[in-house]
Amino acid sequence: MDGRLRTFVVTAVTAVLALAGGAAADALALPRDGTGWAGLALVTAFYCIALSTLFVVMPRLPPTSSVALNFEPIALLALAWIFLGQAVTPAQVLGAFVTVGAIAWMGVKK
């Protein structure tokens, strides 16, 4: 499947599920001003561009790049801690390393 179509489908399904889940739980908090909507639009656009680029480039990458591609959980934990001041628990750090370690182990095992 073409990377652009795959990105569109994944993003659309995620948006529908997030909106439906938030509405069902009565916890949906949409942006209240133009700045919030602009931020939401830019995050969506940048994510779609990055995901499309990933799916276009992925067939050209060596199999050992699976570790780098799955480094996202660790990067997100670090960025949330640095920029958002979120507390990172030892269980989260352990979970991120176990996940990436398992992916690396399976990639090397092949």
In the chain, DSSP assigns E strands to none
Do 53 and 1 reside in the same domain of the chain?
yes
What is the rounded CA–CA span in Å between residue 16 and residue 10?
10
Query: Range of 41's domain?
Result: 1-60
Indicate whether 66 and 106 sit together in one domain. Answer: yes
Q: What is the pLDDT of residue 67?
A: 65
Asked if 7 and 49 sit in the same domain, the reply is yes
Do residues 29 and 76 both lie within one domain?
Answer: no
pTM (global) more than 0.85 = no
Q: Are residues 66 and 55 part of one domain?
A: no
Q: Could you list the pLDDT tens digit for every one of the 110 residues in the chain?
A: 776 787 788 888 988 999 999 999 988 888 999 999 999 999 988 888 887 787 778 778 777 666 667 777 778 888 888 998 988 889 988 887 888 788 778 767 65
Count structural domains, the chain.
Answer: 2
Residue 77 sits in the same domain as residue 39: no
Are 6 and 54 within one domain?
A: yes
Query: Same structural domain for residues 40 and 93?
Result: no
